[in-house]
Amino acid sequence: MPALSPARQTLLLFLLALAVLLPGIWEATGLTGKDEFFLGLRTPMEMIEGDHWLVPFLDGAPRIRKPPLLYWLGRASFETFGISLVSARFVAVLFATLLVVSTAGIARRLSGRNETGWIAGCVLLGCLGMASEGRRFMLDVPVAALSTAAFWSLLVWLDSGQKRWLTATALLLAAGFLTKGPIVALVCGGGGLALLASGRLRLTQLRQHFVPLAGHALLFAVLALPWFFIVRALYPESADLVLAGELESRQFFNFSPAILLGLLNVALPWVFVFAVAAWAAWKGSAVDRLVLFWFLATFLPFAFIRSFDRYLIGSLVPLAILIALALPNIRSRWPFRLGLALALLLGAAFAGFTFWFGLGGWYWVLLPAIYFAWAWWQERALGHTLAAPMLFWLALLWGVFPAIGVNAVPDEVRELGRTRDIAMFDGPQPALLPILSQRAHRHYGTLDRHDLAELKALNALIFIESQDIPRLQQAVASAGLQVKQAGSYRNLASHGSGLRFARVGATLADWQEAFTTRNLAPLMTTIVWFEIVAP
């Protein structure tokens, strides 16, 4: 959109991102995962209940495994708009819009063309990773957004020399550090390395600005680091355990080529178009090579640590910009058709699932899929090419996936969550009960005599998946107490990732039985709740 000024383009992309990402964030059976429903949503609620601000708490213990900024914002949103999925996920969507407009701003700066910024923002909005992660109250999109915005303001400072933009960079990096720690350096730092490698930025320039750079580095340190020192002073043993646990869980220098599949997932359907653009970049312009180097700097580190697909959200920024640079010159349709085919197969799998089991919702994806196929199979106007993936993912994640009913909570159980204290034992199930009942409740990995006595005094209910009942009975017997079943229900329940919704231990035979009988019962988790009684 060359006719639009940068400011108007930014506003339009902001509104477009809201229109694409907001629909469906209120769906309790929408896509979620353990890091959202167990950690992200519950932590701000417990902060409110315990009146914690400086250090977030979860399940009665300081939540210091991650920095606090997102939880601070979550608490502020809950207190302003009320506790709900919408008030939590709206914070996430705002960060996603920041990521989109920052990507467009960088693309305009690097290419010198407004149209490239528009295309880059729309390509990013059309990636599956943005469509799924941009709707969830988790850390990955916010930290990528803050790092990308920091690089954007750094570019503006380099071009204009106005120190307020360098101040903005320091503030954004400090906010990102308080969101997810040192990983905030990845997108911004990778972009800086790419500028140096391409010759667009030289060390002599940085030396000339040593004083303002050093001053703003000090500003970053003053804003970003004190919280960590306070936590270290308040909870030294917990801090040491968290650091050791983080280092162990990341499995550094453990080569994992599976990250390529992660890129395929988050960048679908654009990933094959990117492959063509990356291949051409080797012989392309200096800007093409700069952006390709930037992508490699953000992507390759995850090949040497234990990673999740969502960690690659930051890599989508240079990916989208490189596609935007190359898209006007790509004439072959095979990368479009291959990405289209895989996306349609994914959509057909979910739509076919809901149709086969009579769940409804499958029809929402029909027209977007037809439009998607029309726009991508043959060369069409650029607007159709950019819009079709956005509409397809919107229909799939808002219309189709929630119809599956993952994590559905009966009204009776919601009411219990509002009126009774709930202990979730080693599940944690019901997954969305805390946010739906507006109470954090408590999760227990184990239950000892003290825990059970406290729960009995509170007249609390213990919710548990059926396969874990023997463990509960053993713990209760050891405490000299008994439990009495008070109710149960069955559903498809999230276990870890959002797509692992079959019960723990479900076999291929269970899946075959479910499809043969067109009945989801073999895949459902039985969730039981108990009352503690005296022997």
Write out the DSSP string of 291-345. Answer: HHHHHHHHHGGGGGS---GGGGGGGHHHHHHHHHHHGGG---SHHHHHHHHHHHH
Predicted model pTM:
0.95
pLDDT in tens, 120-176: 999 999 999 999 999 999 999 999 999 999 999 999 999 999 999 999 999 999 999
Nearest to 43 by CA among 83, 74, 9: 74
Which DSSP string corresponds to 449-500?
A: HHHHHHHHHTT-EEEEEGGGHHHHHHHHHHTT-EEEEEEEEEEB--BSBTT-
Q: CA–CA separation, 150 vs 154, rounded Å?
A: 6
Three-class SS state of 61: strand
Identify whether the C-beta of residue 266 lies closer than 8 Å to the C-beta of residue 298.
no
Contact in structure between 355 and 87 (CB atoms under 8 Å): no
Handedness of CA 145, 147, 153, 156 (dihedral sign): negative
Strand partners, 444: 425
- Residues (pLDDT < 50) of the chain are 1-2
What is the pLDDT, as a whole number, of residue 54?
95
Give the model's pLDDT for residue 160: 92
Query: By three-state DSSP, how is residue 19 classified?
Result: helix
Per-residue model confidence (pLDDT) at position 2: 47
pLDDT attached to residue 307: 77
Residues sharing a CB contact under 8 Å with residue 445, sequence separation 6 or more, in sequence order: 426
d(CA 42, CA 205): 47
**Which pLDDT score is estimated for 487?**
96
